[in-house]
Structure 1
């Protein structure tokens, strides 16, 4: 199971830039803990949170405008993580892959289309499609369900605190790939079965039989 943001795409800086500017432009207040809290939230959750920060629009409108801004940025360029596409293709030759992302479905599809990776994933889930975002396990449990596998037989590749907690709560072994700019909290990193710092190290032999 792969996460998307921060694992396959270096999108967290883009999300932060877009949402921070959006909050400022609409008279809200960005707090010191805002970015870390937003990482892993579903679309509905982060839109409601931006409303709480002082954006005077309904969460549904906030979500639409921010996702439009993200899609525009992605049309300019998608910042793939080093070795990410190669790692996915390499693993897809030997393993069944799923994806559980906090990104909206629209952005998941844009990224996978641009990367030419659609055929590599047997199931993809946006947390828009489940009741709760990360750190709740809903997205990972839904992805496992769509694959028809026991979550305890899955390995998840994650970067963020909320993502690590989500996959672990789903009963999966977790490989942590810490983002250098947004490292996970120490207690979340302790949940990892394995820590790597380079996706080129992610090979079929990495995984338990």
Structure 2
């Protein structure tokens, strides 16, 4: 099956957002008198908004609802992104390079408001034919729902897509959707070995991702 689309993740691929998410959520939990556990950040990566808000409300903080958690944390994240967008090197260039080659999609665990804010500030929102937040599907990563939905919106089979991911749950999600996966691991949060093994190619950075590469690994 020929390659018909390229699907990006957002957090950890185009923006170095995980440190911001961790700082904001840690600060929120601390402000509410909660407890941040040793495995909290790893557990939160890839969760949908509903999932991480429920986890924080149920396991980390007393006397707060998941809805309150989501609203207040996303508001803090919006303020941080409006102040400065933590772009990763080559982010805008790789999006434009790949958009000139194949239709683009995006499947992200970020809430819709942050997806639209980031792509708009980056000036590439018009290059994506489909974008999906896992808050808009039944299950977050590592389930394949987000990737399957973006493929459906692009009107292509998931097997005809290459996905670009960084995290363990993201790699598992794209692979479960039967997409060919490129891993671009972040040193601060390296994926688990079993998840990394699902990738057809491991790239050192975004500059390595080219039309030639995606065509070769998809065959």
TM-score by length of 1: 0.98
CA distance, structure 2, for counterparts of residue 207 and residue 56 of structure 1:
48
Matched, 1:178 2:160: no
Counterpart position of 1:30: 36
Shift of residue 54, structure 1, vs aligned partner = 2.0
Q: 1:180 to 1:55 in 2, by over 3 A?
A: farther
Q: Once the two structures are superposed, what CA deviation does each residue of 1:37-74 show, in whole Å capped at 9, x if it has no partner?
A: 10000000000011121242110110000000000000
Shift of residue 28, structure 1, vs aligned partner = 1.3
CA distance, structure 1, for counterparts of residue 135 and residue 202 of structure 2:
28
Counterpart position of 1:118: 125
SS of 2:74's partner is helix
User: Could you list the runs of 4 or more consecutive aligned residues of structure 1 that deviate by over 4 angstroms after TM superposition?
Assistant: none
Task: Write out aligned runs for 1:82-93 (5 A).
Answer: 82-93=89-100
Is the 1:2–1:100 Cα contact (8 Å) retained in structure 2? yes
Task: Write out aligned runs for 1:66-81 (5 A).
Answer: 66-81=73-88
TM-score by length of 2: 0.94
CA distance, structure 2, for counterparts of residue 63 and residue 56 of structure 1:
14
Matched, 1:56 2:63: yes
Is the 1:23–1:55 Cα contact (8 Å) retained in structure 2? no
**Structure 2: which 5+ residue stretches go unaligned?**
1-6
**Structure 1: which 5+ residue stretches go unaligned?**
none
